[in-house]
């Protein structure tokens, strides 16, 4: 095989796991290639994976646009600002989202060039002997060879038989980023992160949104108190969240979808303009390995890896949504850096205990560490401090006083075990808690840290003080 087809490392998948791994490999002096099959709306290669193309970035662009629209319509009266005649141009909003995606995905191509990462556009398949077969969109096939391979092919939406995607009226999260007008009635199967974020987008733009959730617990991974407050706020905003439901059939006909579902009160039928199916994602392992390169999967279909992200085949690694753990871009990227360093011969570690979670609704929800219910069921003795944004001067000035910061620490050591935030800019505020927990800080450490006034971050300071009943701007228990 010629030297142009042999690499130190081949990465299959160019999402936040794969492209970061490729860049880090190149920084370490390794000759890296990245094989990615994503094709953008312009029919050209588009690096960045789910996250940049059809995930984190486009959804946040639409959340931002719809938030501005909502604010102009309903959010500025308290500031004495009267606005009338506000109009939304959906195609312009979608174009803005596409332009943002184009700039960022183009940026990854630029970074690959700057770092001398070789980029292949096509579908990669692992063959025996650490070779990757690449099949292009035109069905041209070539083979490249690597000393090490990193599989980072990510995930795709789970389909359900009762609501088959037709990409017209019944869509997955990708279709829901591209409606050409606001659906009057929008149904969403699954009240998880995607359902709530995309439901918020279209609800702010005027859709009547109903979410059909199978489980009886709302946001089970979140702290119970935060989840309860979130549900209350979403209800106030008009999101109709129906728990413990089972969709039996969704039928698309003309421009409508008819959905049959059951709950404890019996069978129901609703007619909708659009239906989004967002019931979770599954790893992209289809046709990823030849029979001569049998990669082991776990019982849920994720690629099985050891503590250095190595699969059952020596020199073949896997990261990101393809393996166990939260399906989050920042988790995939951390693994991308770490696995590149493992291949280079270092011994990196990832502190999985402090991966932040964020839901970019309004109010935003963000947390790191463990929940009260989790710690209590594990028999931990804990102290809790809570501070409401209503008592924050900055939140009052913003006119956005919903929610709170809840901090949990160990009775024995005072080490912070979990921080749970619902409220303005929770996504940014949680970073302080992540840093504190990364350094095993106590609430005392946080209480001794000076926070600028007036800032939303003072709510974290006050929650840390509240853990020992010494909050200054609320009465203590
Ligand atoms: P991916 O980003 O899925 O990238 C994998 C790439 O590999 C893709 O380009 C895919 O086309 C390609 N590929 C697949 N098979 C092959 C093959 N055989 N050969 C070549 N290429 C292949 N996470 C957050 O942290 N924050 C958010 O705000 C957030 N918002 C989201 C919103 C939505 C609507 C969705 C759907 C997801 C969101 N996520 C978010 C999750 C996040 O996008 C994923 O966790 C992240 O993209 C996973 O990164 P990855 O590199 O493992 O895989
Ligand atoms: P999810 O797991 O967050 O939510 C899926 C929901 O669908 C769950 O509440 C589940 O109980 C429900 N469900 C499952 N089967 C059902 C059925 N048949 N009928 C009704 N309800 C059903 O998954 P998601 O919202 O699809 O998101 C996928 C992944 O993408 C998540 O793991 C998430 O981490 C990631 N993501 C992250 C962000 C973020 O970080 N802000 C945003 C979007 C997506």
pLDDT at 277: 98
Nearest ligand 2 atom to alpha carbon 189: 20
Residue in 12, 13, 64 to alter for ligand 1 test, most ligand atoms within 8 A of Cβ: 13
| Residues 186 and 144 reside in one and the same domain | no
**Nearest residue CA, atom 16 of ligand 1?**
153
The 10s digit of each residue's pLDDT in 192-248 is 999 999 999 999 999 999 999 999 999 999 999 999 999 999 999 999 999 999 999
Please give the share of the chain, as a percent, with pLDDT higher than 90: 98
Task: Quote the domain boundaries for residue 125.
Answer: 3-157+282-350
CATH number of the domain enclosing 230: 3.50.50.60
| Residues 71 and 93 reside in one and the same domain | yes
368 lines ligand 2 (CB under 6 A): no
| Residues 266 and 294 reside in one and the same domain | no
In this structure, is residue 230 part of a structural domain?
yes
Count of structural domains, the chain: 3
In this structure, is residue 471 part of a structural domain?
no
| Residues 379 and 231 reside in one and the same domain | no
| Residues 18 and 146 reside in one and the same domain | yes
Enumerate the active-site residues: 453
In this structure, is residue 244 part of a structural domain?
yes
Ligand 1 centroid to residue 69 C-alpha, Å:
28
Confidence at 477, pLDDT banded by 50, 70, 90: confident
CA distance 459 to 220: 24
Q: Residues enclosing ligand 1, CB less than 6 A? A: 12-18, 35-38, 49-51, 55-56, 59, 123-124, 152-155, 173, 194, 284, 288, 320-322, 327-330, 332, 360
Residue in 154, 156, 158, 193 to alter for ligand 2 test, most ligand atoms within 8 A of Cβ: 193
In this structure, is residue 195 part of a structural domain?
yes
pLDDT at 124: 98
| Residues 320 and 418 reside in one and the same domain | no
pLDDT of 2 > 90? The answer is no
In this structure, is residue 164 part of a structural domain?
no
Confidence at 3, pLDDT banded by 50, 70, 90: confident
| Residues 112 and 138 reside in one and the same domain | yes
In the listed set 327, 350, 373, which residue is the last one of a domain according to the structure?
A: 350
273 lines ligand 2 (CB under 6 A): no
Give the pLDDT mean for 2-10: 91
pLDDT at 335: 98
Nearest ligand 1 atom to alpha carbon 336: 51
| Residues 36 and 108 reside in one and the same domain | yes
| Residues 273 and 291 reside in one and the same domain | no
Ligand 2 centroid to residue 280 C-alpha, Å:
4
Q: Which residues have CB under 8 Å from 464's CB, separation 6+?
A: 385, 407, 416, 443, 444, 446, 447
pLDDT of 316 > 90? The answer is yes
pLDDT at 75: 87
In this structure, is residue 477 part of a structural domain?
no
| Residues 457 and 312 reside in one and the same domain | no
| Residues 121 and 200 reside in one and the same domain | no
Ligand 1 centroid to residue 54 C-alpha, Å:
8
In this structure, is residue 19 part of a structural domain?
yes
Give the ligand with the smallest distance to the CA of 320.
1
For residue 344, count CB atoms less than 10 angstroms from its CB and return exposed for 0-12, middle for 13-18, buried for 19 or more. middle
In the listed set 279, 295, 310, which residue is the last one of a domain according to the structure?
A: 279
pLDDT at 271: 98
The 10s digit of each residue's pLDDT in 125-180 is 999 999 999 999 999 999 999 999 999 999 999 999 999 999 999 999 999 999 99
| Residues 134 and 231 reside in one and the same domain | no
In this structure, is residue 474 part of a structural domain?
no
pLDDT of 66 > 80? The answer is yes
CATH number of the domain enclosing 398: 3.30.390.30
């Amino acid at each position: 095989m010629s030297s142009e087809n042999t690499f130190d490392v081949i990465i299959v998948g160019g999402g936040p796991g794969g492209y970061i791994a490729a860049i880090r490999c190149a920084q370490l002096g390794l000759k890296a290639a990245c094989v990615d099959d994503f094709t953008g709306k312009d029919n050209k290669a588009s690096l960045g994976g789910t996250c940049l193309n059809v995930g984190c970035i486009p959804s946040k662009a639409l959340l931002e646009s719809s938030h501005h629209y909502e604010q102009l319509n309903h959010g500025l009266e308290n500031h004495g600002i009267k606005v009338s005649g506000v109009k939304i141009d959906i195609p312009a909003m979608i174009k803005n989202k596409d332009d943002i995606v184009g700039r960022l995905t183009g940026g990854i191509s630029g970074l690959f060039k700057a770092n001398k990462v070789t980029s292949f556009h096509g579908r990669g398949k692992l063959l025996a002997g650490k070779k990757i077969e690449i099949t292009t969109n035109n069905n041209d096939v070539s083979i490249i060879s690597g000393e090490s391979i990193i599989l980072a092919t990510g995930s795709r939406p789970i389909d359900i038989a009762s609501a088959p995607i037709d990409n017209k009226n019944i869509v997955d999260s990708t279709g829901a980023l591209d409606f050409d007008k606001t659906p009057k009635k929008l149904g969403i199967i699954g009240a998880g992160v995607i359902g709530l974020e995309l439901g918020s987008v279209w609800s702010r733009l005027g859709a009547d949104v109903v979410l059909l959730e199978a489980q009886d617990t709302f946001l089970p991974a979140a702290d119970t108190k935060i989840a309860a407050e979130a549900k209350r706020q979403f209800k106030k905003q008009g999101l109709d969240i129906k728990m413990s439901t089972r969709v039996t059939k969704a039928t698309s006909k003309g421009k409508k979808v008819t959905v049959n579902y059951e709950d404890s009160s019996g069978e129901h039928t609703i007619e909708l303009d659009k239906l989004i199916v967002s019931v979770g994602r599954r790893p992209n392992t289809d046709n990823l390995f030849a029979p001569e390169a049998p990669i082991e999967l776990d019982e849920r279909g994720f690629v099985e890896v050891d503590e250095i992200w190595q699969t059952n085949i020596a020199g073949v690694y896997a990261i990101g949504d393809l393996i166990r753990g939260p399906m989050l871009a920042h988790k995939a990227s951390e693994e991308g850096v770490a696995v590149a360093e493992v291949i280079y011969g270092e011994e990196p570690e990832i502190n999985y205990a402090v991966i932040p979670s964020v839901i970019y609704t309004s109010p935003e929800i963000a947390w790191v560490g463990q929940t009260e219910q989790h710690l209590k069921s594990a028999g931990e003795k804990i102290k809790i401090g809570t501070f409401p944004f209503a008592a924050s001067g900055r939140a009052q000035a913003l006119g956005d006083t919903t929610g709170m910061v809840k901090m949990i620490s160990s009775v024995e050591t005072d080490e912070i075990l979990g921080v749970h935030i619902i409220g303005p800019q929770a996504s940014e505020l949680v970073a302080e808690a992540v840093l504190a927990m990364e350094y095993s800080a106590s609430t005392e450490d946080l209480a001794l840290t000076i926070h600028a006034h007036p800032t939303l971050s003072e709510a974290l300071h006050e929650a840390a003080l509240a853990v020992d009943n010494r909050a200054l701007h609320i009465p203590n228990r």
